[in-house]
Structure 1
Amino acid sequence: MGAGAGGKGISETRTIDRIPENERHGLPRDQFTLWFAANLQITAVVDGALAVVFGAEALTAIIGLAVGNLFGGIVMALHSAQGPRLGLPQMISSRAQFGVKGATLPLLLVILMYLGFSATGTVLSGQAINLLLGVENPAIGMIVFGAATAIIAIFGYRVIHLIGRVATVISILGFGYLAWQLFRQHDVSSAFGQQPATMASFLFSVALSAGWQLTFAPYVADYSRYLPSGTSPVRTFFCTFLGSAMAAQIAMSFGVLVAALGAKFLSNQVGFLGALAGHGAPLVYLVIASGKLTVNCLNAYGGFMALLTTVTAFNRQSRVSPLARALCILGFVGLSLVIALLASANFLSIFKNFMLLLLAVFTPWSAVNLVDYYLISKEKVDVPALYDPAGRYGAYNRTALGCYLFGILIQIPFLNQPLYEGPIASMLGGADISWIVSLVVTGLLYYLIKRNSPAVPERMILDGVNREGADGLAQS
């Protein structure tokens, strides 16, 4: 029996529909292991290294990354706490703010994010698998990794959480061993004080890690939605927050150290870690592959649900067949594999720009979603209306879409990116505070406009009975 038929089986059949109470299972601590595994991995190491590569002093970078992981992790975990209450994928619930069809705008950006992260993960994991298997053709490792990702994503929620628990143990052992080797082979104290600390480099480090955490926001509730609805939102929040922020900070701090020591990590990330491990290289390659497998399964799983959320906004379906589900996952993984095979060698620069771009487009979305859910709707949602363009939330919510676009545009004067430096960022010595401005201004603007919204139901509505005659209230 599948998970969609009582929650007992290993293979999931649910997609974008609400999870019934009799199929709920799990504990908040499952969120800790899943997000710990998703963050204690090589791409987070690269993210930390970028802070040093682009000018930050090591201690300044570590502190800045910690601040970003703290604040970004709080925002990300607030989204996770929505999962048990709603029992819905994250982007389906955003229809309550943007409208059933209007939510497709941020959804298209989410799909691009999934593809980008999946491709970069496939490149790095493919290298690790090749070294583990002793083969040279780069396509072999990528194809093996892509196949494993697709299989696990097709099985779904239960298996993804299982992989997260296993990968957590492997990653702790592997990174513990790598840290021991780093301190044994290098004078780590020499990594500090190599260049002056500046406010601009500190804020850049904050932006890197905050952006890392905020990119999880569009799909974090996908992995808490099976928790029983009575699960404490506080426990869900803290288990998610601690798992994500702690693991990311460990991995990013490691990245800062290897970059500041002038090691060859930047030119060959996988090869450097293998050389650092010495005889333990096979373990490290396994750590890289297992960590990336966890997060790539999240990307493939979330990617197919984002695709379905986009399509069903126009055909009004709330469920799809297992075959369509599997084909959607295979198509997504296949596309990310093609992108990985064609990837540019200029990995670090592209990845840095990609992270900062994601920060710019997801910060205002997160502000709108959280302000609406916690301050305006106050956790009350009309679930059937999320699938009906003629219902309470309408097809397009012009207010939310306007606030979202304004939240992107207001960042322009504060941006400091390779292609553009805004005038205010220049006045601040190159410091980029665009995401902070967007988060605060977008959230405040949306709250002031929508605080008395007639689209808010008097209570949570889970079915089509007693809908309070509120259809068509969100066309404002």
Structure 2
Amino acid sequence: MASTTNSGIEKRSIEMVPDAERHGTPRSQFTLWFGANTQITAIVDGALAVVFGADALWAIIGLLIGNIIGGIVMALHSAQGPQLGLPQMISSRAQFGIIGAIIPLVLVVLMYIGFASTGAVLSGQAVNLIIGAQAPWIGIVIFGALTALVALLGYKYIHVLGRISSATGLLGFLFITYCVLTQVDVPGLISGSSFAFPAFLSAIALSVGWQLTYGPYVADYSRYLPRSTPSSKTFWFTFGGSVIGSQWSMTLGALIGAAAMTESGNLFVENQVAYVGDIVGGGVFAFLIFIVILLGKLTVNTLNAYGAFMCTLTILTSFGNRAAIRRWTRAVFVIGIVTLTVLVALLASADFLANFKNFVLALLMVFTPWSVINLTDYYLISKDRFDIPAFYDRHGRYGTWNWRALVAYAIGVIVQIPFLAQSFYTGPLVAKLGGADISWLVGIVVTFVLYFVLIRNNGVAPKETIYPSLEELERK
């Protein structure tokens, strides 16, 4: 395939993938996103729904609703990949302008680094338990090196890792599920559930936020599919893999989190990886589960590193007309980003890590208006008609800034603040809602209405999509 070297290393970056280099089937999206979601952090996310006050049954129902809502948004982004052949955030230039798109991109990069850093801490625990090391830095550094290796290899090997982690995750999570069902009083946890509306909304918000974090890079992994791939198939395979994998993990987390509650705190949240090892009986079973955890975290951390690389490259190329970079430059970017995530993980104290995690979760409020604007434009305004060469030309159709989109985006973020409920900030309207955080709902409605009104008569979409020639792609 022309998109890779003889060794299989990806050569494309943020330029369009030509039709001759497209390959694969939409089924690959299922295995990738199932593997990315059957992992320890998703289990912790489910446990947090219980920690936030929801009983096990209502936490599971709330998480399911959130995963479906967020999964729809995430899969709609994925469906853009085969049609455009572009990384996800490049298409934001059609809405925000070439330079204007930098604003959400910077926040996206910060989020990726944050989640990759917290993931490195959890994965470092698994590595140390596997090799018997004591110093936390050993596991973190080894995991960082593995992440950089797979991210450098690129698209093809990321999908291979996704298939491996899907298979191991399926087997591992079946065993974990068996252990939970036989060791935890699930009927007792569920039968005693009482409904609390604020905690229920918090559970929904947790899983919606989980799915939305994939939005800025999900099309990066569907863009190599043939252009003839039906959008519906890309949507459903992505949706199915992500929602089934995440809901399974979060359901386990809610049950484990509820069972681990004590008067002094939650034993699982305090020591996640080792706690799962204890549940499966320790010894060789724990060793195998630690490998499953490592592969699952390696998949999602590679996605974070690869996504951060794509977004960083999109930012830097905004000031010129380049659509591609040399492979050694790509390597420098990827290694630099992974090194930064490892440094943050190494320097983070327990308190700092918790605060940083809250900061990253707060950044989710910037994804709601971005997703709404991107999807509204793609499906309702431009209707899959884009001038792809203009994505790389500040003097082209999309210009430098699109003030209408930026205004809608800014207001979409600002209106969420009064409804935001985080550990470091609680909006003035939260108390009137009984402590519920509905910021993301407000962001969706306000951003959609405002963007649609401002843009519907001011669209710049061509009559049909304009594609660059193969000669143009090779020159870049």
Which stretch of the first structure deviates more once superposed, 262-271 or 107-116?
262-271
Return the alpha-carbon distance in structure 1 between the equivalents of residues 351 and 175 of structure 2: 29
Gaps of 5+ in 2: 262-266, 471-476
**Deviation at residue 256 of structure 1 after TM alignment:** 0.5
Who is 1:394 aligned against? Answer: 399
**Contact map agreement 2:114 2:360 (CA 8 A) in 1:** no
Who is 1:172 aligned against? Answer: 170
Distance 1:297 1:356, change over 3 A: closer
Determine helix, strand or coil for the equivalent of 1:184: helix
Return the alpha-carbon distance in structure 2 between the equivalents of residues 284 and 244 of structure 1: 21
Who is 1:112 aligned against? Answer: 110
Who is 1:152 aligned against? Answer: 150
Who is 1:453 aligned against? Answer: 458
Who is 2:239 aligned against? Answer: 241
Return the alpha-carbon distance in structure 2 between the equivalents of residues 356 and 205 of structure 1: 14
**Deviation at residue 348 of structure 1 after TM alignment:** 8.1
Who is 1:472 aligned against? Answer: none
Instruction: Give the residue type in structure 1 aligned to 2:22.
Output: R
**Deviation at residue 86 of structure 1 after TM alignment:** 0.3
**Contact map agreement 1:47 1:352 (CA 8 A) in 2:** no
Return the alpha-carbon distance in structure 2 between the equivalents of residues 347 and 9 of structure 1: 41
Residues 42-83 of structure 1: CA deviation (Å, up to 9, x unaligned): 000111111111111111111000000000000010000000
Residues 411-458 of structure 1: CA deviation (Å, up to 9, x unaligned): 122222223322332211111111011112201211111112241111
Who is 2:56 aligned against? Answer: 58
**Contact map agreement 2:58 2:193 (CA 8 A) in 1:** no
**Deviation at residue 137 of structure 1 after TM alignment:** 1.5
Percent identity (aligned): 54
Residues 259-314 of structure 1: CA deviation (Å, up to 9, x unaligned): 10126211100110111122300111001100000011111111111111000001
- In the TM superposition, 1:284-299 aligns within 5 A as 284-299=289-304
Who is 1:273 aligned against? Answer: 276
Who is 1:136 aligned against? Answer: 134
Determine helix, strand or coil for the equivalent of 2:280: helix
- In the TM superposition, 1:41-56 aligns within 5 A as 41-56=39-54
**Contact map agreement 1:50 1:348 (CA 8 A) in 2:** no
Which stretch of the first structure deviates more once superposed, 182-191 or 397-406?
182-191
- In the TM superposition, 1:429-468 aligns within 5 A as 429-463=434-468
**Deviation at residue 187 of structure 1 after TM alignment:** 1.8
Which stretch of the first structure deviates more once superposed, 361-370 or 277-286?
277-286
**Alignment size in residue pairs:** 463
Determine helix, strand or coil for the equivalent of 1:100: coil
- In the TM superposition, 1:244-259 aligns within 5 A as 244-259=242-257
Return the alpha-carbon distance in structure 1 between the equivalents of residues 469 and 176 of structure 2: 55
- In the TM superposition, 1:216-231 aligns within 5 A as 216-231=214-229
Return the alpha-carbon distance in structure 1 between the equivalents of residues 356 and 74 of structure 2: 21
Determine helix, strand or coil for the equivalent of 1:421: coil
Distance 1:53 1:250, change over 3 A: same
Instruction: Give the residue type in structure 2 aligned to 1:55.
Output: G
Distance 1:246 1:107, change over 3 A: same
**Deviation at residue 342 of structure 1 after TM alignment:** 1.4
Who is 1:14 aligned against? Answer: 12
Determine helix, strand or coil for the equivalent of 2:251: helix
Who is 2:3 aligned against? Answer: 3
Instruction: Give the residue type in structure 1 aligned to 2:425.
Output: Y
Residues 105-161 of structure 1: CA deviation (Å, up to 9, x unaligned): 000011011101111111111110111111112111111111111111111000000
Gaps of 5+ in 1: 466-476
Return the alpha-carbon distance in structure 1 between the equivalents of residues 354 and 310 of structure 2: 29
Who is 2:264 aligned against? Answer: none
Q: TM-score, normalised by structure 2?
A: 0.94
- In the TM superposition, 1:252-401 aligns within 5 A as 252-262=250-260, 264-278=267-281, 279=283, 280-346=285-351, 349-350=354-355, 353-354=358-359, 356-401=361-406
Determine helix, strand or coil for the equivalent of 2:429: helix
Instruction: Give the residue type in structure 1 aligned to 2:337.
Output: F
Instruction: Give the residue type in structure 1 aligned to 2:374.
Output: N
Who is 1:470 aligned against? Answer: none
Instruction: Give the residue type in structure 1 aligned to 2:3.
Output: A
Residues 380-432 of structure 1: CA deviation (Å, up to 9, x unaligned): 01001101111110111111111101000111222222233223322111111
**Deviation at residue 85 of structure 1 after TM alignment:** 0.2
Instruction: Give the residue type in structure 2 aligned to 1:318.
Output: A
**Contact map agreement 1:200 1:431 (CA 8 A) in 2:** yes
Distance 1:247 1:347, change over 3 A: farther
**Contact map agreement 1:34 1:168 (CA 8 A) in 2:** yes
Instruction: Give the residue type in structure 2 aligned to 1:64.
Output: G
**Contact map agreement 1:2 1:9 (CA 8 A) in 2:** no
Determine helix, strand or coil for the equivalent of 1:192: helix
Residues 158-194 of structure 1: CA deviation (Å, up to 9, x unaligned): 0000000010010111111111112222222232355
**Contact map agreement 1:2 1:11 (CA 8 A) in 2:** no
Which stretch of the first structure deviates more once superposed, 79-88 or 435-444?
435-444
**Deviation at residue 372 of structure 1 after TM alignment:** 0.5
**Deviation at residue 24 of structure 1 after TM alignment:** 0.2
**Contact map agreement 2:111 2:363 (CA 8 A) in 1:** yes
**Contact map agreement 1:153 1:300 (CA 8 A) in 2:** yes
